[in-house]
Amino acid sequence: MDNKPILSVENLEVSFGSRRKRFKAVKGVSFDVHRGETFGIVGESGSGKTTIGRAIIRVYPASAGTVRFHDQVISGPIPRALRREVTDKIQMIFQDPMASLNERAKIDYIVSEGLLGRGLSKEEIHRRVDSALRAVGLLPEFASRFPHEFSGGQRQRIGIARALVMNPEFIIADEPISALDVSIRAQVLNLMSRLQKERGLTYLFISHDLSVMRFICDRIAVIHMGEIVELAETEQLFRRPLHPYTQALLSAIPVPNPEVEKRKKLQTYDPACHHYETDRPVFTEVEPGHFLLANKEELSAIGAIS
C-alpha cells in the first residue's frame, strides 16, 4: 500500500434543499484513501455514507470543502478534460443490482455504455466488454442477454464488469452485497478482493455491516449524522473502540455461538451522553492512526490528554 493518498477529502459538506430550508447531510468530513487499500465507511441508514461516495464521483455537488484525486481538485467546477478523467479513473458499484441495470438494454450495451463516444472501434469495445465479463466470471456470450435473465449475484457481477471496463484506479462500492443472498455475498467479496490484487485497485467500501467491513477493509471510518466520529485501522477499531456510537455498532454484530449470543449485552447510543454545549468536540489523533471526535473531557477520560 502506497503512503501517498490517491484520494483526499477535506472538510467536505453536502447539503440539500432550498436556501430557506437547508439540510446538511455531510458535515465537514475529512479523510485520505491510500493507493491499493480498501477504506471503509460504516454507519446506519441515513448517516451520510452514500452521500459522501456520490459527492466524490460528482453525482452530488459539494457545498463546501474539497475532494482531491491525485492532488487535483475534482469537486466544484473543473475542466472538461478532468471531468472525463474522473469518469475514467473513478467508478461506482451500486447497492441494488436489480435497480441499477437498465432492464431494456442488453448486457453488452450496459457494460460498454461508458466507452461510447470516445473514438474506440466496435472491435475494441467488443474486446473490452468480453474481457470485463470474463474478469468477473461471466461468459462473453452473456452479452446478448437482458438483465432479467440473470440472478442477483450475476447482476452484481455485471455491475462490477461495467466499472472494470473503464480500467479505473479507484472504485466506490456502495453496499455492493447488502441486496444479495448470504450464500452469494462471500463470492462477490472474494471476487472484489481478487480483482484488487490483480489490477491494483483502490476501494472505498460503504456498508452498515461491520462484520463484513472487518473482512475486507484496511481502515474504517465510523460516521454518525453526517460526521466521522472515529477512524482507525480495522483491527485497532475492533480491539479498542472509543466512541460510544462505535461501541454500540460493534455490540450489535451477531455472534455465531448461541450461548455467547444469549449472554451478550447490546449497547445503545444516546447523543445526550456528550456534553458539547461549552466544550466542543475536535477530531483528534488519540493514538497513531486512531482518530476520535471528542472534547477535552472525553479525551482526558481515555487518557489522551492529561
Q: What is the pLDDT of residues 149-176, one digit of tens each?
A: 998 889 999 999 999 999 999 999 998 8
> Residue 200 has what pLDDT?
95
Query: How large is the average pLDDT for residues 120-138?
Result: 94
Q: Is the pLDDT of residue 30 over 70?
A: yes
Residues ≥6 apart with Cβ < 8 Å to 19: none
All structural domains of the chain: 5-273 (3.40.50.300)
> Residue 2 has what pLDDT?
55
What cell does 158 get? 455485471
User: In this predicted model, which residue has the larger pLDDT, 69 or 98?
Assistant: 69
Q: What is the pLDDT of residues 191-206, one digit of tens each?
A: 999 999 999 999 999 9
Under the banding of pLDDT at 50, 70 and 90, the label for residue 258 is: confident
Cα 306 from Cα 302, distance rounded (Å): 10
Query: How large is the average pLDDT for residues 11-35?
Result: 92
Amino acid, single-letter form, for residue 216: I
